[in-house]
Structure 1
């Protein structure tokens, strides 16, 4: 009973597929590919998907001509395909990107940053030939094609990303600011569209900086304006550890047709002729419109899943994986496509797959027209949700009418046709893709990635297939996956450490993936099983109405055996709520008390420290032991003991400290920072959780500020190579000015939190102390009994772990008697 709150495959030969990768198949970042540019590696990776294959292009070594290309079916195993372009204009080709449009592949690149050129080819592997003069613009050109077939061009601007309309694939208009930027150098834009919103990822900081990173912004108004940076930025960053300097990414949908992956490079140091970089890839998951990168990872991760069924037709005969309906003349050409060439009547000749999809699915079809007949409706394309000749849907291309035609047959009754116009000049003799996304009774239709229409029909899952009507057509790669709109995240093994969304519990239903005491989803959101889900005030879907005895399971990939701290994001109006976490039959946390947060949308972070987890792929179960609470997400951190640490600097050095910006020195037993900008120095372990940090602070100058850092992770040098980022770390800063004590939060951006006005003199020692426990932080100055600031960070992204340190900005400041206590 809910609370009063509720009351108010078949195996075939060749490439016809059967399976998903086993749980043990894994890739690991960073990766080195065959024939990459020596002592330059793989910088600025761009991945194009075409007809079931992925093609990878990277920046060219500064001393060489040509653009290299690799191909893959699975994003893991790459084959070198040679030089896609050799023209001298590609000397030191920066960030080459390729788009497919209407039978032609267009490459955009900036040779050594000197404007942009467009090259074209009829093949993704080339040869590409130059087809324009220098079109100008700064580096890192990117092209996005919207649902109406309009093109936009993006490139680096002055501390921002600029964009321009394109009247054709080879013509770029005047640029204007997108409003997206990182303040300092900003480059490497990638734009894609999901559920009607435009997403832009972009990279900031100098390419040689460890703080090179990826942010993202979202627009609801158009592809070239209206972007708002997400509050959880950076989306991808690592300044310490096995990989650093992460950026210049592309985003591509994986082989299961559903999972987005971010592909990026890391910095491995200066090469002989530029930065040495290598290839990395991590999964993207979604919660509502939030894009969440599950990374960066540097340990083995589950390989991208393949579709439930797919076919490359890379054989000599059609085979038993397909069933012919109504005849026609079918065959295989060159072990690369299936054809049907009977024309002259309006019979629907079909080939139907042997494998059936689940109720919700995504399907992809690639096809082109060789010749059309003279009837009123020569068409060709896809059929789906096929159970028999009385129940199925179709999506057909019509060159005669330049449109996509869709219909359903349900219980033998043909439903109305609905058509969607395609762009003018659409060449049906070239390859085009049809994509079908089915969720519940809703069908979305895409052509060449453009959303052309949405319909509803009372059809379940079924087989997929292809058909022709009075048309000779070819069919390339065809696939179907039992995932749609990001549902592949539910059964993916999520990396630990990392964040797991509560609504991403595994598949399998009642008693396998979860136990819920009601038969239906009370909130009616996100998933169609019995898990109770609602959209909360933070813009995320969360599990709600969770009662005593209910539980949810999550697939995780634990990096290494050891102790972890877990932050649970919870809300409840009840007292005495309790949860716990299981690994199989082992209770790994014991009882965790969840406080009354005061409202179902007052979210708080509840932390359990020192939880021992075994390495590898596991299934963790969150149990609601007592009472009712809403559950949004959980974040796993490595656990590290905080030692007693002190430094009075009387030894004349700052051994153990890491200096960043500014001018640091040890003078007369005092740690001195002089700077006209920011200056910081850190010490300790990024996995430290609760501790007290204190020090004596003396402001020498009247302007600026100085004080203590805590919960610091991913620090970098914010002013190197001409950058000007005062906020180049993630964590908190408690600081003095001559007019008061203050608290702020930094995540490569600045958020002011709170201040306590008071007069503080220069050349005077003040003792500062910060006590950080959970998400609460208390800031003391001189009076160690009464905090000047007492603040609890209940935001979606509180920092609960990190190093300690000292900082100043635009001020000469001295520090002494620095101390950290567990």
Structure 2
């Protein structure tokens, strides 16, 4: 996979600006801005984030002239689309399909530009949008009407736009960008919080920026779950001159993806314009409404032919009230069940044929309609409905997945991967230059959550950290480390072509982390960086 990507329809280049990607029922739907003087909102679909198919115009309402930053979400049992035509307020549309047709249900609800949807913990729709110095949020009801404006602490100390929110592993991550899309310094920033209703903490550095002549003006992102069900990709555009005339410069924009990496509240990525690893597909996946090759149908049991590892993420897409989702299946006397009936989720444990209700929760939704349940079994078991966290429990064992049902009618894309809580990142090379955080150390081990909500790791004598990396070309890099060392330490740093030994002095206190420049070292285009402790010990982030 390589950035930046141009799209063509009938031989004509289509600018992909302000890209938003909806993931629904195992498929991806890309909605870019509509360039002036055209109207209508285009859609492209994909199953793997590599190959895209033009699906046509999904909304042709006359107000969609020069439609900025369209976004789509599934909420209140239908698909909502928002856009800001010409950057002059917003209109809301609805449809029964991500492919439309979307019909307008509001007049202009104002709220500046770059509206972005998010379902909160009550399955209520929130609407984030640009502001002069930060990001603002309003609630949207089923009729697309806004209320209760709040300002989010997400400053770029100037015009701020392009907000997007995700939830992952107990944190909310808000990305946003500024200050002007034609600036080489156009960038993506982020802020984090453990609650949507608490103050967001902005990062002290951009998430993504590049001022290289050949690859700059990067921004306006969305974030989407990877095909492997575990990782995330930052989706953004690359603006560049198409032609320069006496009347001025005409720009176009291409589509870009880069994989996000998480360490507690910290998020990082690298803007790449060179080949990186393609997204991986789930271990097992199938839309049961189309085929049944990966599952055995022995009603009332519908079970995968293979089971998961101990760590896994599974996904169920269905429209069947009362269905029971199956995890950790050993036999018909021992498994985990998730009952989805009316507006309630009930987590059950079946041991030796005896059923025990572990937890249950009433939700502001109706299982007579389509919904997606994702189950993450890593640090703990976490259940999300339509990307909203609803229940947690202790980690369970691996096993087959499936359904307890009398029919596969209303059963759709079902999948699992043997990854959880970002473990898939270890199977992808880390692009350079970048942050190599301890959570992505191939040697793993135990992690310590520090007071700043970022994990650290202790390396003792003779232990090492190891990272697989990739870059545009072989180069000499400066390696620095955010480090805590209560005693003097010595480290051996090695790559394919070079080994260096570095002395590390102790830090002032056991709580202090400081950035230390260690050494310059040659790193190949594809390489392994190994940092081994040959004296003392240290803690690093």
Match of 1:553 in 2: 466
Match of 1:89 in 2: 63
CA distance in 1: counterparts of 2:182 and 2:10, whole angstroms: 20
Match of 2:266 in 1: 290
Contact kept, 8 Å, 1:565 with 1:611, in 2: the verdict is yes
1:534 to 427, 445, 448: 448
Match of 1:322 in 2: 295
Specify the SS of the correspondent of 1:222: coil
2:501 to 587, 591, 600: 591
Specify which structure has the bigger relative contact order, considering alpha-carbon pairs within 8 angstroms and separated by 6 or more residues. Answer: 2
Shift in CA distance, 274/197, structure 1 to aligned 2, threshold 3 Å:
farther
CA distance in 2: counterparts of 1:472 and 1:263, whole angstroms: 34
Report deviation, 1:116: 1.3
CA distance in 1: counterparts of 2:89 and 2:452, whole angstroms: 42
Moved more, 597-606 or 261-270: 597-606
Match of 1:779 in 2: none
CA distance in 2: counterparts of 1:465 and 1:555, whole angstroms: 35
Match of 1:202 in 2: 176
Structure 2: tracts of 5 or more residues without a match: none
Contact kept, 8 Å, 2:163 with 2:177, in 1: the verdict is yes
Would you say 1:620 and 2:519 are equivalent positions?
A: no
CA distance in 1: counterparts of 2:117 and 2:10, whole angstroms: 25
2:23 to 49, 53, 67: 49
Contact kept, 8 Å, 2:359 with 2:391, in 1: the verdict is no
Report deviation, 1:270: 6.2
Match of 2:140 in 1: 166
CA distance in 1: counterparts of 2:515 and 2:387, whole angstroms: 39
CA distance in 1: counterparts of 2:513 and 2:155, whole angstroms: 30
Match of 2:220 in 1: 248
Would you say 1:278 and 2:215 are equivalent positions?
A: no
Contact kept, 8 Å, 1:535 with 1:542, in 2: the verdict is yes
Would you say 1:421 and 2:358 are equivalent positions?
A: no
CA distance in 2: counterparts of 1:275 and 1:180, whole angstroms: 28
Would you say 1:580 and 2:489 are equivalent positions?
A: no
Match of 1:819 in 2: none
Matched ranges for 1:795-806 at <5 A: none
Contact kept, 8 Å, 2:126 with 2:139, in 1: the verdict is yes
Report deviation, 1:621: 2.3
Match of 2:512 in 1: 602
2:280 to 305, 330, 340: 305
Specify the SS of the correspondent of 1:184: coil
Match of 2:238 in 1: 266
Report deviation, 1:158: 2.3
CA distance in 2: counterparts of 1:54 and 1:306, whole angstroms: 13
CA distance in 2: counterparts of 1:176 and 1:573, whole angstroms: 44
Match of 1:188 in 2: 162
CA distance in 2: counterparts of 1:40 and 1:202, whole angstroms: 24
Would you say 1:456 and 2:394 are equivalent positions?
A: yes
Contact kept, 8 Å, 2:289 with 2:408, in 1: the verdict is no
State the TM-score, normalizing by the size of structure 2: 0.93
Contact kept, 8 Å, 2:77 with 2:369, in 1: the verdict is yes
Structure 1: tracts of 5 or more residues without a match: 1-26, 329-348, 373-378, 507-513, 515-526, 633-822
Shift in CA distance, 118/274, structure 1 to aligned 2, threshold 3 Å:
farther
Specify the SS of the correspondent of 2:439: helix
CA distance in 1: counterparts of 2:43 and 2:282, whole angstroms: 24
Shift in CA distance, 392/183, structure 1 to aligned 2, threshold 3 Å:
same
Shift in CA distance, 219/604, structure 1 to aligned 2, threshold 3 Å:
closer
Shift in CA distance, 36/138, structure 1 to aligned 2, threshold 3 Å:
farther
CA distance in 2: counterparts of 1:36 and 1:53, whole angstroms: 23
CA distance in 2: counterparts of 1:367 and 1:230, whole angstroms: 38
Report deviation, 1:38: 5.6
Report deviation, 1:553: 2.4
Report deviation, 1:215: 1.1
Match of 1:239 in 2: 211
CA distance in 2: counterparts of 1:542 and 1:122, whole angstroms: 46
